[in-house]
Amino acid sequence: MNVTELARRLRIHPKELLRILPEYGFDVGMKAVKIDNKVAQQIMRSWNKIKRDIERKRRLEIEEKKNKEKALRKESGLSTSLPDFISVRHFAERLSLPVSQVIAELMKNGILANQNQDIDFDTACVLAEDLGFSVNKEESAPVDLEAELKKSEALEMALKKSKHTQTRPPVVVVMGHVDHGKTSLLDAIRQTDILATESGGITQHIGAYQTMWKDAKTKDERALTFIDTPGHEAFTVMRSRGAKVADIAILVVAADDGVKPQTKEVIQIIKAANVPIVVAINKIDKEGADVKRVMTELSSHDIIPEEWGGTVPMVQISAKERLHIDKLLDVLLLVADIQEEDIQADPSIPAVGTIIESHVDKNTGPVATILIQAGTLRKNDKLVVHNEIYGKARAMKDYKGNTLLEAGPSVPAQIIGFKVAPEVGDVLDLSQEKSAKKIDVKQKKTQQTGAQKQYKVDMEKDEEGESKRKHLNLVIRADVLGSLEAIIGSLEKISYEGVGVKIIGKGLGNITEDDVQKVEAGNGRIIGFNVKPSLSADEIMREKNINFQKFSIIYDLLDWVKAELEKLLEFELITTEKGKLEVKAIFRTVKNSMIVGGLVKDGKIVKDGLVRVKRAGDLEGLGKMSKCQVGQQDEKSVPSGTECGVTFEGKTKIEIGDILEVYTEEKVVKKLTVQE
């Protein structure tokens, strides 16, 4: 039987098969082409046993390698800093380890988590220490409390002007851990498929929607306004803003997954905002669902179910199967009735509201979604934000895209007519119209886009004036302000020894010619998040061969940035000394090549090794050993004490008595290590 045929049947490479067989008592040479049929049959009968033994040896080798790496890390004092919560993927990146290895280590510790799930500091710390790292606690990024306080005060001052209040529809915020079914729940409520439009199944934007539900007691239809918030860790600020404008919070917890890091964070945000909570225990139809476990875990965070004597209503649902959605809506209306005194607004005053979303549309320009909290906004009303007139409401639409002539309390409206896109969380207050001044569009756009007069690569210098840190210069464009804020916030956290990210331009909407000029001047790259280049910008980029990266998922964008930063790191050249050959004879000399004979004095010489020619201890020249022969047989390496012939390639003329020092050089790419 042909060796290749046997290897095909056993699903192994022929060379690997020939290497393995002698270890298990089969007398087959490394250069065999055919194998006796009886021997082939014996090999096939024994193969399962051989395969199991090979796998066992491989596992032992891997384990031994991991233990050596762990010991080496401990000896070298490798350390890392970790935040309160970190995704498995980012944790692996911090340790410069494969994600699969980290997941395997988590499984050994009884934790089942995919690469996008978060683990807390304690878990990450234990795991990192088990892998040989010392761990420090990373300080949380400071929040601009003054700016947030000003926005809250502005909203409170505006709402205090209400006199003739009446009941308005309750505003409900849907919050919870990533992938626990928040958007699926809204989909079930609204009978529309929003989830299909979200990249990677993760909500990238924040949106507001309304639905009508029949009151179980009065049988009257009542409106409910829902706010959906993203679950990805980069959108913490957006989640907290969502809680500030809501009357009731739905905390979505998956019955098969329980309380997770982001669930804990959401509980803290809701408590800080002092918003009534309704818990929706989702995915009760899934195998492994354990409602009592979820209720117990929530109780440990002071979320006590009503049936256990607490104050928090809990509804068991399946958003996918649309189970008990009606019960959840009934509970929401009941909670709204209990909180009726607080869910009041005066529709007669000038409109007051909060910017829920903001972006630049390629056809209509800046567009913002506003949740009206008091008063009524009408078509052609001036749009006053920060005591500045941002434009006027040329058109208003509801979440279905239908035209609105006016929007009252608790109504989410998409407004067209802004001259500049406002920031998410800004307060619209039409009572300031008389004292408001016109906005300086050019100045505001410059602030938003980060425009500069010069765009040069900024390099940190050491004491001798040499560059010590390289930057990846980026121009970032996103479709909405919330995404732009989240991307920039995540990029600002990336800090590595020797390399860093520098944002030389940012903005909303499609890529422009100005963006291309910035990139060309600053030797940078363009990133587009759910946007594309304009026709003129696309033409210039093709002409000048400027690279454009388009993303729709924030994970992929951050991974690409980290990969590009790694490319900026310098190669580390590792030289390995192999052996020495004393030249005894010169056989042939041609231009830039010589065939010589000699005795290997030390170590071993190798084919394709690099060569230093030494004469009386002095370096005469450099070259390469392209061929090694012992007798008539070509060899890859020749050991010490052996006479051989070699082909030397180089300009140096070798003489009898010269010493040829053979060595190899390997370029090793440095890996990113987190800067302390």
pLDDT (tens digit per residue) in 354-409 = 888 777 776 778 888 888 888 899 999 999 888 888 889 999 988 777 888 999 98
**Per-residue model confidence (pLDDT) at position 644:** 93
Lowest mean pLDDT among 116-125, 264-273, 507-516: 116-125
190 and 325 co-located in one domain = yes
133-137, 345-349, 475-479, range with the lowest pLDDT: 133-137
Residue 453, pLDDT score: 32
- Of the residues 308, 342, 376, which one is the last residue of a structural domain? 342
User: Which of 125-134, 262-271, 299-308, 514-523 holds the top average pLDDT?
Assistant: 299-308
Task: Please tell me the number of Cα atoms within 13 Å of 357 on its side-chain side.
Answer: 26
Model confidence at 558, in pLDDT bands (50, 70, 90)? confident
Q: Is the domain of 217 the same as that of 322?
A: yes
- State the average pLDDT over residues 498-502: 79
Mean pLDDT is highest, among 95-109, 214-228, 648-662, for 648-662
**Would residue 649 count as lying in a domain?**
yes
511: DSSP letter = B
pLDDT tens per residue across span 643-667: 999 999 998 999 999 999 999 988 7
Q: Is the pLDDT of residue 587 over 80?
A: yes
| 275 has a pLDDT exceeding 70 | yes
Statement to judge: residues 153 and 113 lie in one domain: no
Question: Quick one: average pLDDT of 272-276?
Answer: 80
End-to-end CA distance of the chain: 61
pLDDT beyond 70 at 48: yes
What is the reported pLDDT for 98? Answer: 79
Summarize the confidence of residues 587-609 as an average pLDDT: 91
pLDDT value of residue 464: 37
- Which residue in the block uniquely carries the two structure tokens 């033994």? 53
**pLDDT tens-digit series, residues 322-340:** 888 889 999 999 999 998 8
Position 85 pLDDT exceeds 70: yes
- Same structural domain for residues 200 and 334? yes
pLDDT band (50, 70, 90) for residue 153? low
Higher pLDDT, 566 or 531: 531
The beta-strand segments (E) located in 95-163 are 118-120, 134-137
Of 25, 53, 73, which marks where a domain is finished? Answer: 73
Residue 226 carries which side chain, given as an amino acid letter?
F
Final residue of a structural domain among 568, 600, 619: 568
Same-domain pairing of 546 and 649: no
What's the mean pLDDT in 475-491?
Answer: 80
**pLDDT over 50 at 582, yes or no:** yes
Q: Is residue 556 part of a domain?
A: yes
Output 3 or 465, whichever has higher pLDDT. 3
Q: What's the whole-number mean pLDDT along residues 572-601?
A: 90
- Which one of 133-142, 505-514, 639-648 scores highest in mean pLDDT? 639-648
pLDDT range class, residue 192, cuts 50, 70, 90: very low
pLDDT of residue 154 exceeding 90: no
> What does the pLDDT read at residue 150?
59
CA-to-CA distance for 239 and 218, rounded, in angstroms? 34
**CATH at 472:** 3.40.50.10050
The answer to whether residue 311 scores a pLDDT higher than 70 is yes
Summary mean pLDDT of the chain: 80
Looking at the structure, do residues 332 and 196 belong to the same domain, yes or no? yes
Q: What is the dihedral of CA 631, 635, 640, 642, to 10 degrees?
A: 0
User: pLDDT at residue 448 above 60?
Assistant: no
Which among 392, 352, 355, 351 is positioned nearest to 370, based on CA atoms? 355
Residue among 188, 412, 410 at smallest CA distance from 280:
188
CB 505 within 8 A of CB 518: yes
Tokens of 533: 């280049």
Q: Is the pLDDT of residue 621 over 50?
A: yes
For β-strands 571-590 and 593-606, DSSP reports them as antiparallel
* Residue 676 covered by a domain: no
Residue at 151 is within a domain: yes
Domain CATH number, residue 409: 2.40.30.10
| 12 and 62 inside one domain | yes
For residue 350, give its domain range.
144-168+344-438
Whether residues 213 and 240 share a domain: the answer is yes
Which range in 84-98, 235-249, 590-604 is most confidently predicted, on average pLDDT?
A: 590-604
pLDDT tens across 50-80, in order? 888 888 888 888 778 777 777 776 776 677 8
DSSP 233: G
- Residues 67, 41 within the same domain: yes
The first and second tokens of residue 631, run together, are 């007798």
Q: What's the predicted TM-score (pTM) here?
A: 0.48
Whether residue 207 contacts residue 183, with contact meaning beta carbons closer than 8 Å, is answered with no
In a domain, 26, yes or no: yes
Please report whether residue 551 resides in a domain.
Answer: yes
CB of 524 closer than 8 Å to CB of 544: no
Q: Are 215 and 329 contained in the same domain?
A: yes
Is residue 148's pLDDT more than 80?
Answer: no
Least confident of 95-104, 226-235, 282-291, 610-619: 226-235
Beta bridge partners of 659: 582, 614
User: Does 423 lie in the same domain as 377?
Assistant: yes
Whether residues 520 and 508 share a domain: the answer is yes
* pLDDT value of residue 314: 94
What is the share, in percent, of the chain residues with pLDDT greater than 90?
A: 18
pLDDT band of 237, cuts 50, 70, 90: very low
pLDDT band at residue 535 using 50, 70 and 90 as cut-offs: confident
pLDDT class of 280 with cuts at 50, 70, 90? very high
Percent of the chain with pLDDT over 70: 82
Per-residue pLDDT, averaged over 579-591, amounts to 92
Give me the number of domains the chain comprises: 6
Is residue 443 situated within a structural domain?
A: no
Q: Structure tokens of 21?
A: 């067989």
Q: Is 661 a domain residue?
A: yes
206's CB contacts (< 8 A; 6+ apart) are 227, 228, 229, 230, 235, 238, 241, 242, 356, 357, 424, 482
Asked if pLDDT for residue 447 goes beyond 70, the answer is no
Q: What's the rounded mean pLDDT across residues 595-613?
A: 92
Q: What are the structure tokens assigned to 395, written together?
A: 């058109």
